[in-house]
Chains A and B, each alone.
Chain A
Amino acid sequence: MSNQKKRNFQIEAFKHRVVVDPKYADKTWKILEHAIHEIYNHNASGLSFEELYRNAYNMVLHKFGEKLYSGLVMTMTSHLREISKSIESAQGGLFLEELNRKWNDHNKALQMIRDILMYMDRTYIPSTQKTPVHELGLNLWRDNIVHSSKIQTRLLNTLLELILRERTGEVINRGLMRNIIKMLMDLGPSVYQEDFEKPFLEVSAEFYKGESQKFIECCDCGDYLKKAERRLNEELERVTHYLDARSETKITNVVEKEMIANHMLRLVHMENSGLVNMLLDDKYEDLGRMYNLFRRVPDGLPTIREVMTSHIRETGKQLVTDPEKIKDPVEFVQRLLDEKDKYDRIISSSFTNDKTFQNALNSSFEYFINLNPRSPEFISLFVDEKLRKGLKGVSEEDVETILDKVMMLFRYLQEKDVFEKYYKQHLAKRLLSGKTVSDDAERSLIVKLKTECGYQFTSKLEGMFTDMKTSQDTVQGFYASHPELGSGPTLTVQVLTTGSWPTQPSITCNLPSEMSALCEKFRSFYLGTHTGRRLSWQTNMGTADIKATFGKGQKHELNVSTYQMCVLMLFNNADRLNYKEIEQATEIPASDLKRCLQSLACVKGKNVLRKEPMSKDIGEDDAFFVNDKFTSKFYKVKIGTVVAQKESEPEKQETRQRVEEDRKPQIEAAVVRIMKSRKTLDHNNIIAEVTKQLQSRFLANPTEIKKRIESLIERDFLERDMTDRKLYRYLA
């Protein structure tokens, strides 16, 4: 401690000797003050940096830092007051230019002053916690210029007015704007925000509120959106040119709110030009614009999505329920496909393939397709039509596209098992009549169904293809083992596995003796190679080619159904037969026989039989003759059967009933599977689980599930809990 005291004493003595000139500090400061004046007056070329730096250094060293610092503040402030006056007196448009010029001057001067006072900046200022020179210069500029009463509001108004002029289409000096805004930013974020950004956003909101009101009154939706988009881009451009990048979201939020969010519903529902009209007229560009603009505001996209969804549902509902439009199944499905294509195109080209929109589209289709209970049948008929003839001469890729589209519709179906039923029927007809155009296309569709619904769904369909193949081999084998059958009628048999095919138990009709003999031979051949099987003849499904010679020796080959063949063969031994006789001889069921006779006698150009009396309908007492006058341009004549392509009402009921029957075991199986793994489960959960498990095939009806559960309880698969009646237990 004593040591320290001694040192203090020494320093004191030293000081007295050194400061000889009491005016030293004043003199040195005068030199520096003069230099600062010269710098502000653009007269610095005569100044020596080294000398000035040394002087400032000496002042700090000799403990005159306070004098130097306060002198700097005073001198700079007085210069800034002068500058402020000259800026204030600048007229009109020159105001900003003058401000900018003086700002540049000040910056340069500030840099030079800082150079001179570098030593003070480094030593005196940190230890006294004063503001460093550069920051001090900015603060003084802020207080004396930007916040001076005569400049502050004028500056703000000038800036806002220039922006307004630019918005109304005038060209302004963007470089100058950028410099002035940059100045506000340099003075600190709070200066930029308080003195410019906040009022700018308020004025902008006001401007866009007015403009959007004007536009919405006089523009249609498309035009309005175009204008809004242009405004948005203009503001973005403005930010990049002369505003702080952080203002970007703030100003775009203003435009979005005023121009879009506030008018969203009005725009979407605008009469004759709103969203629905854009959808109807495929206005991709307008839709894309709407999407991009609405995406920026809260609830924007959901609004579009809801309107689109309800529109699709509405039009879809009309499409599937309009009795006019469901007359032709092929046309019906084609319309669905066209509708889907239309919206796919809109979503991909205007809505950037937005997943939520795709989902909305899918759910809408699912909704309305299932409104019509005949949709599964129609879709199957559409496929039937395509596979029968529609795909002739179409390239393989195109076939795939069509099939893929059908699959997409199939996916929307809730009652996939109904589709399966119809598909099976239609496929059977195609296969048995050899009408299918492309085996590849058939198989490709089966593969698609398999990937969609699993092996179980298609196993029977695949079985049908296998039957066709083995039948071919069997018939070949039959003829190879019976070489004596070379002459005489040829028999082609398709052996169909029961269960795989949609066969109805039907009474076998009486075949002509030649044929029945042949059939007997085949039966013994088949049963000889496959023991333990039963073979029954489905005469209602066969076809025959017969050669006929008419009155004047015209020879024709007739392509007829098996029933028709039986009828025609009767005329080998008789010239005239009445209805009763034919019925007795053939034992064909009455309805089929009537249809069969109708097609033989009543179709113009194909009437190989003549009927008395000549009328459209077949009566019990009608008589039939061979039509000796039959002529045809063709050697081969196909006698069609009058068949209803669409199912008639009773048939439909029947199919429906069969579907319901088939569902029962599936529901039961699902219940047992679930209960086996869960052991106990309450009623609501089991309904939910079963519905979930089966939804890939059909939508299970809860009352039906309940019935099945009750049936399972009766059969001791399940039991009700003794205390909680809503709880089921699995009985192993």
Chain B
Amino acid sequence: MGIQKDRLRFNVGGRVFETTATTLANAGRNSVFGAMFDENWNFQSTNSDEHFVDRNPDCFGVLLDLLRTQELYLPSNIPEKLLYREALYYGLLDHVRAAKWGQFDGNRLRLSQSIAGQAPGDGTAIRAGPDGGCCVAHGSMVHVYDWMLEEHPPINLDYQRVNDVGWIDSESVVVSVCERLGRGEGGMGLFSSSTGELRYKFHVSHENQAKSFTAGALSFSSDYKIFSSCKGRSNEYGVGVWDQVTGKQIDFFYEPLGWSLGDADKLQWLEGTNCLLVATLFPRKDNCYISLLDFRDKNMVWSWSDIGAPITVDEKRVRDAIAMEESNSICVVNEYEDLGFIDLRMNGGSIRWSSRSRLMKGMMPDEPCYPKLALHEGQLFSSMNDSISVFCGPDWVLTSRLRRSYGGSICDFSIGGDRLFALHSEENVFDIWETPSPPII
């Protein structure tokens, strides 16, 4: 189609547009324009002929500019949703998404939108999806939003309290909930993110008997495994492993005596070391237990706990932990947002607290939220009260702080699909932070 006379004339909803076949070729074969100019279809391309398209001319103009410049400029008189609908018609929705926001950089984030939900009660967790969508867990419900921030049918698993959620891909979400005593309900399920349908329910078997269980923290690996901390009623305390493709349980790491795995607050799969980080933290338990599990030989290869540590005056208790494979350490945070580091290369080491300013001390809000940590491409994020701090560099210096006064403390946040989502504990609202596209020159 590139060889034919290049100029084209469209009449879209009564307005005439002139463009070139080359510009339209940017849309790709899997778009209306790609099909239209395929040799299979008899497309007359004489200059005098206009091609009538019965669609909205304003949106067509915006989308034509998107094909011309690879950037998206949305005039205020066009509703966003209308543009998305038109883009879907032409098969250009992926182009719009790619141009909507820039590549993620923690130091260049701008607040893009705040979404208020209608759920009662406090937020439990928010998880960013791979393509810019997110899901928010409140009590026993999970609300799913696509990247256009359109809400899809909500998800629940037997209306049990949700402990964690996670995205396997942009189409599927795993939800882990509490066990409903005596009914065999609860546990863990896989749902369609667009329709909210339950596609698969995961099972735990102990000595070849299916058991009902409470599923806790979740983690996924790139070789299609699902990890979840599990709590049953007899021996099924530990970490279960399932195959994402077949849904079958493939492994179980039983909790050793005097240690905690089944109650874990956080699981993190480490690709480089082929190990799973399991962290059970205060106040779920009186003590903190952090360990690395190697499933190949059922070995706890590294562990740390504050059992027996002297209680200091300022009482530094670990509230969240995250493994940083590149620097062979685990970063932890306490309720004053002090960062601490534990060396992964030796067992039984102690926490090296960084002597960062302790501004937060003494100005705690009425309803504090425990701090959370996240790591994204060499940038460390830590939430505290109503703000999120960004740390960079080998010494993790504070480089940015994200804050929005409305909504109260941040109870959870998540990074994914080049977006950061922050869930507030009051007002049922979550914020979407994006990196703007780079400057023109």
Q: Taking beta carbons and an 8 Å cutoff, which residues of A are in contact with B?
A: 1, 3-4, 44-47, 49-50, 53-54, 57, 108, 111-112, 115, 118-119, 122-123, 126-127, 129
Taking the closest CB of chain B, its distance from the CB of A138, in whole angstroms, is: 18
Q: How far is the CB of B398 from chain A (nearest CB, A)?
A: 41
Is B53 in contact with A50, judged by CB distance below 8 angstroms?
Answer: yes
Contact across chains for B54 and A112 when beta carbons are under 8 A apart = no
The CA-CA distance from A126 to B171 in the complex, in Å, is 9
Contact with A along B85-97 (1 / 0, CB 8 A): 0001101000000
Q: A50 touching B36 by the CB < 8 A rule?
A: yes
Report the separation of the CA atoms of residues A112 and B195 in the bound assembly, to the nearest whole angstrom: 29
In the bound complex, residues from chain A placing their C-beta under 8 Å from that of B42 are 44-47
Among residues of A, the one whose C-beta sits closest to the C-beta of B52 is: A50
Return the chain B residue nearest A129 by Cβ. Answer: B192
Known: A44-B42, A57-B89. A118 touches B195 (CB 8 A): no
Residues of A within 8 A of B52 (CB): 50
Measured CA separation A316–B51 after assembly (Å) = 93
Please tell me if the beta carbons of B54 and A54 are within 8 angstroms of each other in the complex. yes
B120: nearest chain-A partner, CB-CB? A1
Please state if A111 and B194 are interface contacts (CB–CB under 8 Å).
no
Asked whether A49 lies within 8 Å of B88 as measured between CB atoms, the reply is no
Q: Which of B53-79 contact A (CB under 8 A)?
A: 53-54
| Measured CA separation A112–B194 after assembly (Å) | 28
Q: Which secondary structure characterizes the binding site on chain B?
A: loop
Q: Which residue of B lies closest to A108 (CB)?
A: B40
A49: B residues at CB distance < 8 A: 35-36, 41, 43
The answer, yes or no, to whether B118 is at the interface (CB within 8 Å) is: yes
Q: How far is the CB of A468 from chain B (nearest CB, A)?
A: 69
Q: Which residue of A lies closest to B42 (CB)?
A: A45
Chain B interface category by residue count:
20 to 34
**In chain B between 181 and 239, which residues have their CB closer than 8 angstroms to a CB of chain A?**
192, 194-195
Asked if residues A122 and B88 are in contact (CB atoms below 8 Å), the reply is: yes
Given A49-B41, A111-B40, A112-B41: A3 in contact with B195 (beta carbons within 8 A): no
Asked if B32 is at the interface (CB within 8 A of a chain A CB), the reply is yes
The answer to whether B40 touches A44 (Cβ under 8 A) is yes
**By the criterion CB–CB under 8 Å, are A53 and B32 in contact?**
yes
- Which residues of B line the A interface, CB within 8 A? 30, 32, 35-36, 38, 40-43, 51-54, 88-89, 91, 118, 171, 192, 194-195
A3 to B32, alpha carbons, bound, how many Å? 37
Instruction: Name which residue of chain B comes closest to A1, CB basis.
Output: B118
Closest residue of chain A to B89 (Cβ to Cβ) is A57
> Cβ of B36 and Cβ of A119 under 8 Å apart?
no
Q: Which residues of chain A have C-beta atoms less than 8 A from B35's C-beta?
A: 49, 53, 115, 118
| Separation of A54 and B54 alpha carbons in the complex (Å) | 8
Min distance, Cβ A107 to any Cβ of chain B, angstroms: 11
- Min Cβ gap B154→A in Å is 10
Q: Which of A115, A126, A129 contacts B41 (CB 8 A)?
A: A115
Q: Complex formed: what's the CA distance from A255 to B176 in Å?
A: 55
Contact yes or no, A50 B51, CB < 8 A = yes
Please pick, from B89, B118, B171, B194, the residue contacting A119 in the complex, using a CB distance under 8 A: B89
Determine the distance from Cα of A529 to Cα of B48 in the docked complex, in whole angstroms. Answer: 125
For B36, list chain A residues within 8 Å (CB). Answer: 49-50
What separation, in Å, do the CA atoms of A50 and B192 have in the docked complex? 32
For the complex with contacts A57-B89, A118-B32, A119-B91, 16 further pairs of A-B residues with Cβ separation under 8 Å are A3-B118, A4-B118, A47-B41, A47-B42, A49-B36, A49-B43, A53-B32, A118-B35, A118-B91, A119-B88, A119-B89, A123-B88, A126-B171, A126-B194, A127-B192, A127-B194
Cross-interface CB contact of B30 among A3, A50, A118, A129, cutoff 8 Å: A118
A518 CA to B319 CA, complexed, in Å: 111
| Residues A122 and B51 in contact in the complex (CB < 8 Å), given A49-B41, A53-B35, A115-B40 | no
In this complex, the member of B35, B36, B53, B192 whose beta carbon has the largest number of chain A beta carbons within 10 angstroms is B35
Residues of B within 8 A of A111 (CB): 38, 40
Chain B residues, Cβ within 8 Å of A1: 118
Give every chain A residue within 8 A of B194 (Cβ-Cβ): 126-127
Nearest to B35 among chain A residues (CB) is: A115
- Min CB distance A447 to B, Å, is 54
Q: Report chain A residues within 8 Å CB of B41.
A: 44, 47, 49, 112, 115
Contacts of A118 in B (CB 8 A): 30, 32, 35, 91
- Complex Cα spacing A8 to B318, Å: 47
List the 7 closest pairs (A to B, CB-CB), nearest first.
Answer: A115-B35, A49-B41, A45-B42, A112-B40, A127-B194, A49-B36, A127-B195
- CB-CB < 8 A to B43: which residues of A? 49
Most chain A beta-carbon contacts within 10 A, residue among B32, B52, B91: B32
Residues of A within 8 A of B51 (CB): 50
Nearest A residue to B32 by beta-carbon distance? A53
Measured CB to CB, the closest approach of chain B to A127, in angstroms, equals: 5
Contacts of B195 in A (CB 8 A): 127
Alpha-carbon separation in the docked complex, A53 to B34 (Å):
13
User: Which of A50, A111, A127: most chain B Cβ within 10 A?
Assistant: A50
Residues of B within 8 Å of A54, CB to CB, are 54
Expressed in whole angstroms, the Cα–Cα distance for A576 and B41 within the complex equals 132
Q: Which chain B residues lie closer than 8 Å to A44 at the CB level? A: 40-42
Docked pose: A205 CA to B250 CA in angstroms: 40
CA distance A641 to B91 in the complex (A): 111
Q: Kindly provide the distance from the CB of B77 to the nearest chain A CB, expressed in whole angstroms.
A: 24
CB contacts (< 8 Å) of B88 on chain A: these are 119, 122-123
- Which residues of the other chain, B, contact A115 by a CB distance below 8 angstroms? 35, 38, 40-41
Which residues of chain A are near B32, meaning CB under 8 Å? 53, 118
In the bound assembly, the distance between CA atoms of A46 and B43 in angstroms comes to 10
Q: How far apart sit A4 and B43, CA to CA, in the bound complex (Å)? A: 46
> What's the nearest-Cβ distance from chain B to residue A672, in Å?
49
In Å, the complex CA distance between A151 and B42 comes to 34
What would 21 A/B residue contacts be, using CB atoms closer than 8 Å? A3-B118, A44-B41, A46-B42, A47-B41, A47-B42, A49-B41, A49-B43, A50-B52, A53-B35, A57-B89, A111-B40, A112-B41, A118-B30, A118-B32, A119-B88, A119-B89, A122-B91, A123-B88, A127-B192, A127-B194, A129-B192
Q: How far is the CA of A54 from the CA of B89 in the complex (A)?
A: 9
A28 to chain B, nearest CB (A): 14
State A47–B118 Cα separation when bound (angstroms): 49
**A1-B141 Cα distance, complex, nearest whole Å:** 14
| B89 surroundings in chain A (CB, below 8 A) | 57, 119
Residues from chain A with Cβ under 8 Å of B192 in the complex: 127, 129
A123 to B36, CA, bound (A): 19
Cβ–Cβ < 8 Å partners of A45 in chain B? 42
Whole-angstrom CA separation of A126 from B40 in the bound complex: 26
Q: How far is the CA of A50 from the CA of B42 in the complex (A)?
A: 11
Query: A53, A57, A111, A123 — which one has the most chain B CB atoms within 10 A of its CB?
Result: A53
